[in-house]
Each structure stands twice: as structure tokens, then as C-alpha cells.
Amino acid sequence: MGMLAEVRRELTEHIIPFWKGLRDDEYGGYYGLLDYGLTLDKKAVKGCILNNRIIWFFSNAYTYLKDESLLDEARHGYEFLRDCCMDKENGGVYWSMTYDGKKDDTTKHTYNQAFCVYALSSYYEASGDREALDMAYGLFRIIEGKCRDELGYMEAFDEHFEITDNDKLSENGVMADKTMNTLLHVFEAYTELYRVDHNEEVGNKLKWMLDVFAEKIYNPELHRQEVFFDREYNSIIDLYSYGHDIETSWLIDRGLEVLGDEAYNKKMHPITTDLACNVKKVAFDGHSLANECDKGVVNTDRIWWVQAETLIGFINAYQKDPAQTGFLEAAREEWKFIRDFVIDKREGSEWFSAVGPKGEEDRLKRPIVEPWKCPYHNGRMCLEVLKRGVE
């Protein structure tokens, strides 16, 4: 069986049934925690990012596969988002809800608003529900009106959109005012919104973000992106996030494809190619991708989402330049690693959160489902591989 057939089977016979099984028909949305031992906690908090990513996943799976049950799952997540996760008084989406749909963490994070736009845009395409598109534009206006300064997007806010510490998207011993990660996912969300509705204002914001990536985020001397910044976009840590760079390489290319602006193609394609080439050179061992390099120390964990984005990123780089057959071979090897080691073969499980560089069991025994662990990366990987048709 070839890679395409194996990926289709993984999507339709494993990932989709698993996430259908996480549906909460009593309180809405999807259950928020399945631990490493496969114990389901039905009273765990429900992260809004998790719910939004599930909406995005089922919406896109429906659009591709045309299975009505997938649209029903997307609608189920959408109704929980609409009825519980949105702040009806102050606007925006909360960070997390209790298991029964009450406010838990009321932080308003730009990253989370973006994923809500991403989900609503895809759900609108799948369902034709204009209410979802109107909600997406409402959040677009909040992001542009309340979540940025003149240089770029700020990160964390309280319930009333007063700035708070960015503890949710800061790591590695720093507290960042701005992050590459939030900018990337606002770009991703606006790409989806522009794709389904072609609003000129959204398109102009995409171009503005491309300029920020090129001039503030991308480091041409080190062939990488910087990750954490102060308010003026000064990098505050020596960190090379391999996974984010390979993800950025294809997400920006997707944005360029949707925009169709030749001037930005010429400006950005060399950057995205450089990001992909350097990641393959420094972080890929021939089978899988390391996590990151913090101040010269490499974290060799094989994180589930990093492997998924690597497969897409390498296929994308090959499709841009089919003479670069090394990317195609690397993609095939990456899929074999995912198939053999990252996919959890236990009944009732999905993918491991992390394994060792040779596929060793995760010594930290991280959960199979938690607020950040969802079908967004691996489900999207399957859909991208199938749509691109590269064997």
C-alpha cells in the first residue's frame, strides 16, 4: 500500500472515528482530556482552541469527503462555540470553559481569536451558514481593533481587553510581548477568511503581515525565524523552532496562492524555500524532525505536530521545485516514521504526543487529548497529502 492509501486510511479509519468518540452530547462540544493511560475525564475543562480546531477539522473533512456525518460533527462544535465560548457582552472568545459550558479561564488571547476565525471561515464554507461568517468578521474586527498596536499583534488580554502577561504563549524562560506563533496563526486564519469570501480589507492585512514576516520575523543570516519578541520586535531569545519554521514555509505559500499577488510571490517564495531547506539540513535526521534548538541545545523529542507539519512542508517544497527530489524522499521517510512510531496502535487512542528520536515511548507519558492536542495538525496533514496527490 502506498503513502496516499495509507494516509487516507489513517484519516478515515482512525483519526475521524477517534474524534467522533470525543463528542459530548450532554453538555456540548468535545471532551477535553484523555490521559496517556486512555482514561477519559468527562469533567475536564474544555479548551476553546481545542474546540475551534475540531470545528475546523470536521468542516474541512466534510468539504473534502462529503460525508454528512462530518458536517454534523462540525455543527456540534460550532453550536458549543456560539452558545458557550463567545463573550456576548465584551466580544471575543474565552480561553477555556468548564465541562458543562461555563466560563473557566476568561483570558482573551489573540492566538485564540485567530483560531476562532479559522474555524468559523471553514465552517461557513462547509455549511453555508452566514451567521458563522458574520461571527468571523466580528472577531476580525476585534483582532484589528483591540489586539494590536502600530507594529503588530499583541498577545494576551483580560476579559475586557486590557493587556495581561502572555504566559500562555511564552516558553523557554521568557515572557514575550509579541510572538512569531501568534502572527503565523493570525495569517493562517485571515488566509482562510479571504479564501472563502475574498474581502479586500482582509487581503490587505495578509500583505501587511507578509511584510512583517519578511522584515521582522525572518532572520536571513541564520536562515530561520525568530520566535519571541519585545514590543518593538527585538528578539529576546536564541531559539530555533524547527516545527514552526517548516509549518510557516507552507502556510505562507498557501497564503500567497490564495492572494495571487505576483509581487509578494517574488518577495516571499525565496524566504519560504530557505526556511524549508535549512530545516531539512539542520534538523532532519533522514527519518524525522527534532523539536527545537534553545541557545544551542537541541531538544530531540519527536513531537506529533512537528512531524505532521514536516510531511506537509517537505511535500510543498518538492511541489514548488520538482527537481528537489530530496524533499520527496524525506517526506516519504517522515510518513514511515509517523506510521510506525507516532500513531498509537492501542485500541481507543490516536497519536502519541511525543516519542524519542528512534520512536521510543514518551517518558513523560503526555496526554493523548488535552487543550493543545487535537486533530488540527495530523488531520490537516492527511487532508493536505490527499489533496496534493503526491505518492
Task: Evaluate if residue 188 carries a pLDDT over 90.
Answer: yes
Task: Evaluate if residue 1 carries a pLDDT over 90.
Answer: no
- Residue-wise pLDDT for 112-158, tens only, equals 999 999 999 999 999 999 999 999 999 999 999 999 999 999 999 99
We report the CATH number of the domain holding residue 311 as 1.50.10.10
Domain of residue 155: give its range.
Answer: 3-388
The model carries a pTM of 0.97
Exposure letters 270-305 (e unless 16+ CB within 10 A, then b): ebbbbbbbbbbeebbeebbbbbbbbeeeeebbbbbb
- Residue-wise pLDDT for 3-27, tens only, equals 999 999 999 999 999 999 999 999 9
Domain tally for the chain? 1
What are the percentages of helix, strand and coil residues in the chain, rounded to 5?
55, 15, 35
Q: 167, 99 in Cβ contact below 8 A?
A: no
Read off the C-alpha cell for 164. 495581561
The amino acid occupying position 118 is: Y
- Residue-wise pLDDT for 282-319, tens only, equals 999 999 999 999 999 999 999 999 999 999 999 999 99
Q: Which phi and psi angles does 367 have, rounded to 5°?
A: -60, 155
Read off the C-alpha cell for 364. 513523560
- What is the overall mean pLDDT for the chain? 97
Window from 117-121, 168-172, 173-177, 381-385 with minimum mean pLDDT: 168-172
Q: Which is nearest to 194 in space by CA: 127, 117, 251, 247?
A: 117
Distance CA(378)–CA(311), nearest Å, equals: 10
Q: What is the pLDDT of residue 173?
A: 87
Q: What is the pLDDT of residue 266?
A: 98
Q: What is the pLDDT of residue 172?
A: 86
208, 214, 217, 220 alpha-carbon torsion, rounded to 10°: 180
Residue 171's pLDDT band, with cuts at 50, 70 and 90, is confident
Helices (H), 11-84: 16-20, 48-65, 68-80
Q: What is the pLDDT of residue 107?
A: 97
Q: What is the pLDDT of residue 62?
A: 98
Task: Evaluate if residue 170 carries a pLDDT over 90.
Answer: no
CA diameter of the chain: 55
Residue 336's pLDDT band, with cuts at 50, 70 and 90, is very high
Q: What is the pLDDT of residue 346?
A: 98
Q: What is the pLDDT of residue 108?
A: 98
